[in-house]
Amino acid sequence: MSCLFCKIASGEIPSETFYEDGDVRVFKDINPKAPVHLLVVPKLHIQSIAHLATNHGDVVAKIIYVAKRVAADQGLTGYKLVFNVGREGGQVIDHLHLHLLGGWGSKEERNVDV
Ligand code: AMP
Ligand code: ZN
């Protein structure tokens, strides 16, 4: 298994984890673009949203519900959820992940490019 996010999600590589269960790990982005910048990562290796199969609905629903839960735990009342898809979409890590971004103090700060 050579995928970085497979290794982090499984716990083989340590991370600053905010939530974990059998399906998902949420950890801090190493290069945060917002006061709160977490990555919601399924333990199942799926390359991107563009690579979803018809049986992956549960995985996608799960990471969105986990994002909602962790955002609430962090006290965020508003936030952004972002999937980068493919190189042209800004995706660098080829393992599906949902960016959870928030904690801004002003509208200007909120203009993030992840
Ligand atoms: P993306 O551009 O959507 O593929 O996002 C990948 C994200 O993973 C970037 O925001 C990186 O800062 C983040 N990242 C890369 N390596 C690590 C790591 N070892 N631990 C935590 N976050 C990472
Ligand atoms: Zn992977």
Whether 1 shows a pLDDT value over 80: the answer reads no
pLDDT value, residue 99: 98
Cα distance between residue 20 and residue 49, in whole Å: 21
Whether 109 shows a pLDDT value over 90: the answer reads no
Give the SS3 label for residue 54. helix
Which atom from ligand 1 is nearest to the alpha carbon of 28? 21
pLDDT value, residue 73: 97
**4-79+88-102: CATH topology:** HIT family, subunit A (3.30.428)
Express each pLDDT in 35-93 by its tens digit: 999 999 999 999 999 999 999 999 999 999 999 999 999 999 999 999 999 999 999 99
SS (H, E, C) 19-39: EECCCEEEEECCCCCCCEEEE
pLDDT value, residue 77: 92
- Cα(91) to centroid(ligand 2), Å: 13
